Amino acid sequence: MKLCRFQQGPGRPRVGLVLDEHTILDLSAEGIDRLTSLFEFEGLAAQVDALARQNLPRLARASVTLLAPVEQQEVWAVGVTYLRSKTARMEESDFSATAYDRVYDAPRPELFFKALPAKVVGPGDAVGIRTDAKWNVPEPELALVINSRGHIAGYTIGNDMSSRDIEGENLLYLPQAKIYDRSCAVGPFVTIGASEAEARTWTISIAIERGAKRVFQGETSLGQIKRRFEELVAYLFRSQTFPHGAVLLTGTGVVPPDGFTLQAGDRVHINISGVGVLENPVVVV
């Protein structure tokens, strides 16, 4: 089952259940107008299943604008969770190679703040590349949607846009490489009712288009993520509370070749087999 946040015309954001490719069930008609409150439900999938059987308005998918499924949640990210990410980063910087090598095997994962909710870009909106960076890449990532009690309520797609030349110059520049306008896209759907074991069977793929040409594509399995999802969430919630829950990007396992950098006008498509496709054009910010 997939949930979404959407808007129809100038109206307020609403909450929907995706019935099929063309149809959304408007859960707001049942008084549910925030995803965050749904994510707090115990037995979320059963409750949404019961809602789905009610006679609620059905909307054409083409008549709504999908929004990022993020309301007041901070977005955080984990790094170096795939072997591919570790090796790419060790090659990017002699200076930081030991840090990446160590964190991959250390008990404590690398966690970093990524975006305030108001700065998250939704489906179809532009992601950004920095004017002062020369090597910019998207990072396609599974995103965990976590409630205030630290339970994983669902899964969505995240793009952890990164400036690899800034990150590679000095590890202390990581926040500048990772956090800037339009550096984080999330959406379009939140898949609920799937276990971690099921999510680990999904594939994540990315395609980057430049005009009519596909300039990069790559794919991996979410089963390649080294750490268990609950372990990542437990570290995020150590000595830190999230009254509205949080979204946690789980790291990238698909890295474009070193000669590749994004350009304004490119289109990034990220597909997770159990979730859907997050598509964003690229602009310079």
Query: What are the residues binding ligand DO4 (CB under 6 A)?
Result: 77, 79-80, 85, 89, 110, 139, 160, 174, 251-252
Q: Which does 277 bind (CB under 5 to 8 A by kind): ligand DO4, Mg ion, none?
A: none
Residues 132-151 that bind Mg ion (CB under 5 A): 139
Among 160, 165, 266, 279, which residue interacts with Mg ion (rule: CB under 5 A)?
A: 160
81 in contact with Mg ion (CB under 5 A): no
- State the minimum distance, in angstroms, from the CB of residue 153 to ligand DO4: 22
| C-alpha R_g of the chain | 18
Q: Determine which residue in the list 252, 266, 271, 272 makes contact with Mg ion, applying CB under 5 A.
A: 252
Strand extents, DSSP E, 116-241: 127-129, 136-137, 140-146, 152-160, 162-163, 184-191, 203-210, 213-221
Residue among 139 and 279 whose Cβ is closer to Mg ion:
139
Round to whole Å and give the CA distance between 275 and 61.
16
Nearer to ligand DO4, 9 or 257 (CB): 257
Give me the least distance between CB of 89 and ligand DO4, in Å please: 6
DSSP characters for 189-224? EEE-S--HHHHTT-EEEEEEEETTEEEEEEEEEGGG
Nearest to 62 by CA among 116, 124, 107, 2: 124
Nearer to ligand DO4, 28 or 163 (CB): 163
Supply the minimum distance, in Å, between the C-beta of residue 255 and ligand DO4.
9
Give min distance, CB of 54 to ligand DO4, in A.
40
- Residue 134 tokens read as 């020369």
Q: 16, 236, 215: which is closest to 148 by C-alpha?
A: 236
| Residue among 77 and 143 whose Cβ is closer to ligand DO4 | 77
For 105, 118, 177, 208, the CA distances from 246, given in Å and listed in that order, are: 25, 13, 21, 28
Q: Which amino acid is at 43?
A: G
H or E stretch covering 68: none
Length of the chain equals 285
Reading the block at residue 16, the tokens are 């929907």
Taking the least distance from each CB to Mg ion, the nearer of 163 and 252 is 252
Out of ligand DO4, Mg ion, none, what residue 110 binds, judged by CB under 5 to 8 A for its kind, is: ligand DO4
Closest contact distance (angstroms) between CB of 205 and ligand DO4 is 16
Give the binding site for Mg ion (CB under 5 A): 139, 160, 252
